[in-house]
Amino acid sequence: MSPAFSSGAMVRVRDDWPERRGPCHIRTPWYLRGLVGRIERPLGAFPNPEDLAFGRPAPRRVLYHVAFEQPPVWQEGQPGDTLLVEIFEHWLEPAA
């Protein structure tokens, strides 16, 4: 499985709220939804934990390290402070 994004690509975390549609297990932090980050690197493809949590067949999805500027996330920190998070590809879209 080839990664859709390469290191350095700017991406936006999907602003989606599946928990409002019913029971779900989400690995993407709610506080990052809608924010723009930078792909640090792809980590490989792994079974989707959102399906594994319910015992469903889990397609493999590419997982990334995504870096975010910290001040816009938590309204604290200094310029240059970053937050590094693992996010699966299906939660990411190209940043416009």
Structure token digits, residue 38: 């930078």
- This prediction's pTM: 0.90
So what's the pLDDT on residue 88?
96
Strands (E), the chain: 10-13, 36-47, 60-69, 82-88, 92-94
For 11, counting Cβ atoms within 10 Å of its Cβ (0-12 exposed, 13-18 middle, 19+ buried), the class is: buried
**What is the C-alpha to C-alpha distance for residues 68 and 84, in angstroms, rounded to an integer?**
6
Q: Summarize pLDDT for 12-70 with one digit per residue, the tens.
A: 999 988 777 776 678 889 999 999 999 999 999 999 988 888 889 999 999 999 999 99
Sheet order of strands, 82-88 included: 82-88, 60-69, 36-47, 10-13, 92-94
